[in-house]
Chain A
Amino acid sequence: MTKHVFLASLVALGGAGALAGQQTGKWRVTPSVAMMRFDRTTSLSSTASGLSTKLWPWAGLDAMYRVRSSLQLGLYVGGSRVTTSPDYFKYALFRSGSNYELWAVSQRVTVFNYGIGAELALPVGGSLDPYIKGGFGRHTLYPDVQKSNSVHSFSGAEFALGGGVRYGLKSGVALRLDITDFMWSNFDRELLDPVAPAFQNNTFPLSNPDGVLWPKPSLTHNLRLALGFAFTPAGGGQ
């Protein structure tokens, strides 16, 4: 399943490239690679604070349509495969003969986000074009099929807010560096618990990780630092 998802991403990326190559209108397509720092309450990060926070590679694609000289509207999609931290879930409690054993368990998770966005270029001269961006959409996570013993996913609303700069390389081509806060609404990390309730450790609760008790904010902040390669078809206004 996860391979299919990524193959679909591959096709989308290829399709975007083809679009960039064929369109002569106002579309601009930006594939990008990024590092994602998930919110520390999502269980996709770690309980550590500061620079030691876990970072995950991320791939994304924007397709924006210029409706005015400084305003572009369009679609965005992104995704990655990450591993949950066991520090947010009760340990697995197994009985082996006359003994108990506790195990910390994590799982690989495929994360997608997608939505519609807008970019507003700031009127600054020179080769660096700063902009701010915003958008809304949804996030979808696919837990590990083997762990959850089923194919299922869960989704939620997403709001995006960020900004960056573009550096034009030549006509219709630019490098883009931006930072975006993808805000997930009412994200419930318990849905990523790889241990079935019957095997969760309720017998030795004091031994469970402290992260079990961490709060679940209504809005989680997931920061992405992305480096993109923007293509604008000839005559697109770039």
Chain B
Amino acid sequence: MRLQRLVISCGALAALAVACTHDDPVTTPVSQNGEDTIAIITLSATPAGFLNGTQSVTYIASGPFDTSVADAFARATTNPPFLIPDPTGCYGSQPLIFEAGNASVPYTPPNAFLPAVVSGTAIGDAGCGGPTTYIVRAGHPGNGTGNRVWEFWHYVTGTTDPLRYVSGLARYAVVQRGALDGSDVLLNGSVTSPDSLVLYPNTSVLGGKKSDAVFTTNCGSVNVIQAKAGFNPYMLGGGASAGGAVQIDQTVCDTDGVWVDASYAGNKSPIPANNNTAFSAVQYNFFVVWEALADSTPNYARPVFRVQIGPLLNANGTVVNNSYAPTPTTQLSGALLGPLPGSTSSLDSVKVTFNLLKPLSSGAYQVWVTNTAGANTGRLTGRVIRLSNGVAKDTVASAGEFNLIAGQNGARFEGALGTLGSQTWNRVVLVVQPTSGATAIPTQPSEPLWGKITNPKPSGAAAVLSGSLKFGSFDNGAADSMVYGAGGSGTGGFFGTQLVQALSRLSRPPLGYQYEAWLTNSTDTSVHLNAGGLNGPAPDYVSLKDADVMTTPPLSGVEITEATFATDPGTYAAWCKIGTIVGTPPDTSILPIYDRLQIRLGPKGGNPAILSPTLALSAPLGVPMGAAHNKGKCAP
């Protein structure tokens, strides 16, 4: 029993000793290549250099023109027609209504509508060096600072001496016979059955001044007209023909606040807006010079000068669709009709500019048109102008595809639709083909840039003639089509000779594109080094070269949830290439060659030696601690 107790006591003491052992935490710093401190390098999203571009198209009429479409010819404007700076310079540079449109003398306005303008008359030069056809609003600096007079100055030649002529503003309604004259001219070049103009309302009362016109900016002068509402026509003075011409230059003062609108087309301007806005009681759609009757009232059947300055009205006083000023004079070609709202038309040509492309080591760039679902596609052939920072470097004619060479980073493609114009298209797409000469778009294609087009354009729809391209994955318009946006972050640093980054929540790259790590120089863009691709997280470190199409972790939806980048040349000396060691140990310092770590997007077939233009993440690089401590024996 003594032996038993002895053994038991020893055991108890041993257990007690174990129970009383002290258990300080055991922590040990971890070092690598002699360094246990890691200067943090933090990558943050710095989106830049995204592929971009523009597209523009032309249409050609390919079907019936629908004049019932609102403003089918796209001629409505807010401002009146002829609102331009005086081409003769007489009135300075501020726009006024110059009905002739240019400085050519003589000017003969279109002789449209009935009653017809007396033949043989025109507008001549009264002294400014161009046709004298002026309507100058109050306050225009051409008539002196602070003036309050509207000026109507016209010089009509071909008149008969010594007949008297009077001018005025008239508000006409159109009596339409068949198609509107203007539409007839635009579509066919001639009028089948001329329309007539009648005063509106037909109970109109003549107002204004019939006596000889006098120019004065003095609103107190007896020669000035005080603007009044409710008259039609509103007479603006007259004169007798002498030497086969008559000059009428009359001013109207807005003393009573009748014509005080600040713009030419406001509802208190005598000139109406050239759109569907209803006329006010002071607005008129024609300026006319008539032969005068014996009592100096107009002979409405014998206008000698008539110019449309606003839209036509119907018998109810409502603006007539497509009747906007000026009166059309020439037929529109198919190309001009093509983009108009009333036109049924097809795409004639496409011009697309692609910026920030990268030369491909394999494959080629092609331009395609597709429909929304990608069920129909068509490859375009045309002229390719290769660009360097937007500057043309060379041109390839009739190219179905193209590539770039070092120093080039863009291209402009110009191609006709040809027979493809008869099909339905709604996107123009840049396709990065993995093989040159490909004649079909593969499944999940690399389509990094695309723009919206419409073919055919139905009547009633406004044509979109230009737009910007989107950057991302078009994927033939599939549900996963998405616009790329840089996102994510990273952290890491130099641990010994190892440069490491742990990245999170990177955006999924566009189809056909991959992330690349680059060492760059922030001031010299020609200095850069491709440091390799990204991998997934430990322990598998799966390659993310195909992150554009991967469906397994770390890919989740539109994100790469986790990624790693690591490169380890093995020695500090190898890292000397990221910076030059200057000075003599221990007083050495690093003169950086590469001072940025950047994560960029590049096409999978891109030339690995050429810096990919699309930047996603960036961080100041620094240098490895060991190199800074000159452990690498970098030569000064």
Contacts and interface: CB of A to CB of B under 8 A. Distances in A.
B222 interface: no
Interface in B4-44: 4-5, 7-8, 11-12, 14-16, 18-21, 23, 25-30, 32, 36-40
Interface residues on A, range: 35 or more
Interface string A201-238: 01111111000110000000000000001010000000
Interface stretch (B257-265, B320-328, B495-503, B600-608): B495-503
A17 B29 contact: no
B538 A208 contact: yes
A98 B20 CA distance: 41
Interface stretch (A101-109, A122-130, A132-140): A101-109
Given A7-B19, A204-B38, A204-B492, A106 B26 contact: yes
B493 interface: yes
Given A31-B7, A59-B14, A102 B566 contact: no
Nearest to A100: B38
Interface residues on B, range: 35 or more
Given A98-B40, A204-B500, A147 B25 contact: yes
Contacts of B23: 2, 81, 107-108, 144
Contacts of B495: 100, 102, 204, 207
Contacts, number: 138
B28 to A, nearest CB: 4
Contact of A103 (B15, B29, B492, B564): B29
A104 B25 CA distance: 11
B22 to A, nearest CB: 9
Interface in A80-131: 80-81, 83, 86, 91-92, 95, 98-108
A213 B39 CA distance: 27
Given A101-B29, A146-B25, A204-B500, A231 B20 contact: no
Interface in A140-195: 144, 146-147, 169, 173, 194
A10 B37 contact: no
B1 interface: yes
Given A17-B4, A105-B26, A202-B537, A6 B15 contact: yes
Contact of B12 (A13, A83, A95, A169): A13
B3 interface: yes
A14 interface: yes
Nearest to A92: B27
B30 A203 contact: no
B586 interface: no
Given A13-B15, A204-B38, A207-B498, A103 B27 contact: yes
Contacts of B18: 6, 57, 59, 80-81
A5 B19 contact: yes
Nearest to A109: B23
Contact of B538 (A146, A147, A202): A202
14 contacts: A10-B19, A21-B1, A31-B8, A91-B30, A99-B39, A100-B38, A102-B29, A103-B28, A108-B21, A194-B25, A204-B38, A205-B539, A206-B500, A212-B539
Given A31-B11, A100-B493, A105-B27, 15 more contacts: A16-B8, A83-B26, A99-B38, A99-B39, A99-B493, A100-B495, A102-B30, A102-B38, A103-B28, A104-B29, A105-B25, A204-B500, A205-B537, A205-B564, A206-B538
Interface of B: 1, 3-5, 7-8, 11-12, 14-16, 18-21, 23, 25-30, 32, 36-40, 491-493, 495, 498, 500, 502, 537-539, 564, 566, 568
